[in-house]
Amino acid sequence: MSAVLSCSNLSVSFGSFAALSDVTLNFEDGATTALIGPNGAGKTTFLNALAGLQRVSSGTIRLDGSDITVLSAHRRARMGMARSFQIVTVFPQMTVLENVQVARMRAHMKVAVPWRTLASFPAVEREARAALERFGLADVADVPAGTLSHGRQRALELAIVLVNAPRVLLLDEPLAGVGRAELDHFADLVREVSARQTTILVEHNMDVLMTLARDIVVLVGGQVLARGGPEAIQADPKVREAYLGA
């Protein structure tokens, strides 16, 4: 299999502090990779660097073989990179449907389209409704997004990132704040979503994570400590010492 996304010798510094040092990783087409590591390991910085939200100090990032290291986040989004955040980032006053419509428009229009004119783009509405259907949100299409439960807002975020059928999906703690009752259902959604394209996800819940990804990268102190399958990672003495606290 070929690498869709790769980075070589990637470093990000904040002043004299190195948040990422010399990270070289390949992500294969269609694979799901989980990124784990203690707080401050550089996981969010890494996702931001890939998405173009964080300038890198040195190194190279390639998407489908093209050097994207200095491209803006917007350009990368158009090339098929989608990123979700640890905190819910829907527009609370807009309806659930409008949130997805706006996301669909934004990826494809060169100029911003006033959201009040959304009704004049029926194809966008059709695609947005299909995305809502897929994420079990069709019944709440017309309610303000801010009135949904936290779990359903997280599902909406997935609909928002997936409506543009990205090549690479970057998910930052997609299960953060999801209650126990919704966790299994939501983990199923994330599993289904990540099965469709190359996915890199940060997740703290180890039990869930082991069911989501067969490829795990352990970051510690901004460096790659280990990479492997769940069993190998759990058994790795270096990882146990640095991360699992054993």
- What residues make contact with ligand ADP under the rule CB under 6 A? 14, 19, 37, 39-45
* DSSP strands (E only) in the chain: 3-14, 17-28, 32-36, 58-63, 66-67, 81-84, 168-172, 198-202, 215-220, 223-228
Q: Which is nearer to ligand ADP, 49 or 156 (CB)?
A: 49
Minimum separation from the CB atom of position 18 to ligand ADP (A): 9
Minimum separation from the CB atom of position 208 to ligand ADP (A): 18
From CA 62, how far away is CA 103, in angstroms rounded? 24
Minimum separation from the CB atom of position 89 to ligand ADP (A): 16
Q: Is residue 245 exposed (0-12), middle (13-18) or buried (19+ Cβ within 10 Å)?
A: exposed
Q: Which is nearer to ligand ADP, 42 or 80 (CB)?
A: 42
Q: Which is nearer to ligand ADP, 15 or 65 (CB)?
A: 15
Minimum separation from the CB atom of position 141 to ligand ADP (A): 34
Using the Cα atoms of residue 128, residue 135, residue 48 and residue 34 in order, give the sign of their dihedral: negative
Q: Which is nearer to ligand ADP, 53 or 138 (CB)?
A: 53
Bridge-based pairing state of the strands 17-28 and 3-14: antiparallel
Minimum separation from the CB atom of position 95 to ligand ADP (A): 32
Q: How is residue 175 written in tokens? A: 């299960």
Q: Which is nearer to ligand ADP, 40 or 136 (CB)?
A: 40
Q: How is residue 87 written in tokens? A: 């905190």
